[in-house]
Chain A
Amino acid sequence: MSQELYNRPASELSQMLARGEVSAVELMKSVAERTRQVEPRVHAFNSMDEADALAQAAASDQRRARAKATGSAVPALEGIPIGIKDVISVAGQPLTASSRMLENFVSPYDATVTGKLKAAGAICWGRLNLDEFAMGSSTENSAFGVTSNPWDLTRVPGGSSGGSAAAVAAGEAIASLGSDTGGSIRQPAALCNIVGLKPSYGRVSRYGLIAFASSLDQIGPFARSVEDAATVLEAISGHDPKDSTSLKLEVPHYARGMAELVKSGRKWKLGIPKEYFGEGLDPEVEASVQAAIGEYKKLGCEIHEVSLPHTKYAVGAYYIIATAECSSNLARFDGVRYGHRSKDAKDALDLYFKSRAEGFGPEVKRRIILGTYVLSSGYYDAYYLRAQKVRTLIRRDFLEAYKQVDAIVTPTSPTPAFKKGEKAANPLAMYLNDIYTIGVNLAGLPGISIPCGFTSSGLPIGLQIIGQPFRETELLAVARAYEERNTWRMQFPKL
């Protein structure tokens, strides 16, 4: 496929913009035109505001011209259209969480990440589809239709950030933001042949992200290259006085730091957790991941088998902690101040019952009920408290492994993209799709998924690399060392 503007990585487009070979408006038009063509088949967007995006692009061109005239620096993402998952607030734009509950809600304020992207010159483009309130692994739980995997339109793009992944894969955005609570960035990135990064918990402000599970949620980028992911991460990271869980740590120059590490030819020590290569792992996925590990060996990296013995408890602990937090986080959607309000409520209690019954989809309800149960008096110690203890053990497993290795390499998802409807009726099978990604959230670690091949039927396969807390630069460098040696990311779906 020819290299259209909309299919190029941000790093390349930035250079073209800097050289004046293309304007931000031209780039935005190319992306919008591409979106018009493929969106009826992909359905990555809940909504888009092309006029607003073009106005942002025009403003970007003006800023660039002014910077040129005054000789001042141009920010890293100047003029780059970046899609935003429809669970992250953009002032004046809809914020639906793909839920009937917020179908007509327009958010009056910018999320911290949105503000940071704008400050870095990016064009906030579109509201990207997701599983309702980010609960799901296929984007089938959206109230506004399923997103298709651009590589096979009969299959899901993964989730919950399926729209964010599909948009970048299909050329409808140059990069995008998603949120990752149990794999919601890494798994769809794997299923769509792009890069998806979940930063360390506390690296990126959550202010303006509709909370699913506060202690697990983290915003991160989807991109066409590790370098692009590093650039977006750098733009959105940092302490935010509006989020007490964001850490007061200096933000490194990720892209530059990563490039220097790669150039130094550092020989990484990589851990392969035996618990991640067992039952349920698709053989083609396993083969691709093993091949990638082989590439690292060729680079001179040391490969060690490591053990993460509490892995088997991760899914259970995750679904207790995440649902407990979500049952409380979603209590605010009650039809009183905003959002769906049932027409025929008799009193306040009835208003809650009806508005929530009508506004929430089945998976959201299932999780609220589960979470309410595990927090109930008499069950708290047996479920929530125990799950928190498991969580500590899981983090300890990882930190123990990091005494021996620099990073851990695993499959991102046990299978490639599955058929729409295939797992929709079986929540447990769906939950198990996150088996390799959940531990990272429970442990608060950074993790990245990068393309590592295709199945015989042409479905993308992702490689997950898990880093040490707040060591994203090293994580990116490990990912880049592999990415350099293959062309997986340069393949695009035929749409």
Chain B
Amino acid sequence: MTYEAVIGLEVHVQLKTRSKMFTRAAAGYGHPENTLTDPVVLALPGTLPVMNKDALDKIIKAGLLLGCEIAPVCKWDRKNYFYPDSPKNYQISQYDQPICKGGSVEIELPGPARNIMGEHKSVALTRIHLEEDVGKLNHGDGASLVDFNRAGTPLMEIVSEPVIRSADEAFAYLTALKTVMIYGGISDCDMEKGQLRCDANISIRPVGQAALGTKVELKNLNSFSFVRDGIAHEIRRQTAVLESGGKIVQETRDYDGQTGTSQSLRSKEMAHDYRYFPDPDLMPVEVDQRWKDSIRATCPELPFDRQRRLQAEYGIPYTITSVLVPDRDLGDYFEEAARLSGKAQAAGNWITNDLLRELGAAKKSLSESKVKPVHVAGLVKLVEEGTILSNAAKEVFVDMFNTGDLPEAVVARRGLKAETNLEDLERWCAEAIAANPKSVADYKGGKESALNAFKGPVMRQAKGKADPKRVDETLRRLLAG
């Protein structure tokens, strides 16, 4: 029998705010234990929560970017459960009135090859709500210690409808979601820092069957590839269970990415009663049209919309846009360089090949790059005008990358200016053609190699310092004319 998977993802995304969700204590990662705390974070007796408006702004922005319906009122509920990483032993969350409802995420499935665009699909969302993160337990040395640095960090829970059909789709969904969050300045979504966490609900059913199978919740999927691998593993596991005549048990399983195996954590019988009720410490906050409009005004173009625009507006191929677009800053960088140089394709090539290669080798980020769009544009122009040859241009780029000097300055300092200018080259080519009518006839008769007969004299005139590619182009152009 053939089965199909039905997958829904619950993604937790930490919002990029300066302070915590309900107090002024700083939010952050990598600080000494229990230093990002205050009486409210530690739930000292008598403390009260006060909402961080920036966090609400950011989740509304996320909702607007993903086409969600924004609730007219932001209401808070308490989710009651005891756990040592939870200072109040309740989490302030949103139960029956999430701030964002509906919406969708546009995803791109893997194409037939890396350089060919894959199919696009829309994954529907159920809801997005806002809550506070918990602390972290560190076990070891016969003791369990709690670090409350993470506790109270604004956390968004994004719940998809069960419409994802494969591990690859889940991967594509997370990738697209992350890109949108980064575009909106909502979160950096760094999984290693716990800024994005993912749980998957997975069931399988025979193809054609409408009823859903029994679902299993998969936890601890702590990298994008673990999400993909974990889901693929769970689909195989469930298929094997059903094929051997077994039944799927509703349970929560823990996926171990290192070993590629999963274990049962708890069954449904141990489900909590969270005793949700409206938090009496927090007044509902009205979100009116003006508020929404002011946030909408700060919403950037969505990544896939930008990709479509770059391809249409600049005529650059998928191979380049698929590199530029996922990184909002890189996309901005490109658009600036393209604008300054007027040559989008050439600018795109320099950025996606040379710039990214050098940044990677130097382990630097784009913001640290000494080569700015103005450098790239300058270099494109120098090559275009024939001031430097393409080999020399590579050398100029590396120099600019190290020194930050403008290309003209590098060319002058290193003496890289081509000794030929375009007029000379044009004249030498014309002379070579005029001096060899036989080869002209051969070439026009279809003998491609006849072209070489002109190149020797031109290169001799140029004392070897002419760009072979440009000589080739010029000769072909003149012969065609």
Q: A residues within 8 Å of B by Cβ?
A: 87-89, 95, 97, 102, 105, 107-109, 111, 206-211, 213-215, 241-245, 324-325, 327-328, 331-334, 336-338, 348-349, 352, 372, 375-377, 380, 384
Contact = CB atoms under 8 A, between A and B. Distances in A.
Interface stretch (B86-94, B186-194, B210-218, B382-390): B86-94
A381 B348 CA distance: 61
Contacts of B281: 211, 214, 244-245
Interface in B176-201: none
A214 B279 CA distance: 9
Contacts of A375: 80, 275-277
Contact of B45 (A95, A243, A348, A349): A95
A244 B284 CA distance: 10
| Majority secondary structure, B binding face | loop
B43 A332 contact: yes
24 contacts: A89-B45, A95-B46, A107-B44, A111-B46, A208-B46, A210-B46, A243-B50, A244-B281, A245-B281, A324-B277, A325-B280, A328-B78, A328-B275, A328-B277, A332-B43, A333-B45, A334-B84, A334-B89, A336-B146, A337-B43, A348-B84, A375-B277, A377-B275, A380-B276
A109 B39 contact: yes
B48 interface: yes
Contacts of A333: 45
Contact of B280 (A97, A102, A214, A241): A214
A159 B42 CA distance: 29
Contacts of B80: 327-328, 331, 375
Contacts of A372: 275
Interface residues of B, number: 30
Given A215-B280, A244-B50, A334 B82 contact: yes
B273 interface: yes
Consensus secondary structure, chain A interface: loop
Nearest to B82: A352
Contacts of B43: 332, 337
Interface in B10-51: 39, 42-51
A117 to B, nearest CB: 15
A333 B88 CA distance: 8
Interface in B133-169: 144, 146
Interface of B: 39, 42-51, 78, 80, 82-84, 87-90, 144, 146, 273, 275-277, 280-283
B151 to A, nearest CB: 10
B277 A384 contact: yes
B280 A89 contact: no
A207 B50 CA distance: 11
Contacts of B50: 241-244
A89 B51 CA distance: 22
Which 3 residue pairs across A and B have the least CB separation, nearest first?
A: A331-B89, A215-B280, A214-B280
A377 B45 contact: no
A211 B46 contact: yes
Contacts of A243: 48, 50
A380 B278 CA distance: 12
B82 A207 contact: no
B292 to A, nearest CB: 21
A456 B47 CA distance: 45
A244 B89 contact: no
* Highest count of chain B CB atoms <10 Å: which of A328, A333, A348, A376: A328
A207 B83 CA distance: 25
A208 B44 CA distance: 9
A231 B280 CA distance: 29
A97 B46 CA distance: 11
A338 B88 CA distance: 12
A332 B275 contact: no
Contacts of A244: 48-51, 281-283
A60 B51 CA distance: 37
A213 B281 CA distance: 10
A102 B44 CA distance: 11
Contacts of B280: 213-215, 245, 325
Contacts of B273: 376-377
Nearest to A207: B48
B186 to A, nearest CB: 24
Nearest to B76: A244
A337 B87 contact: yes
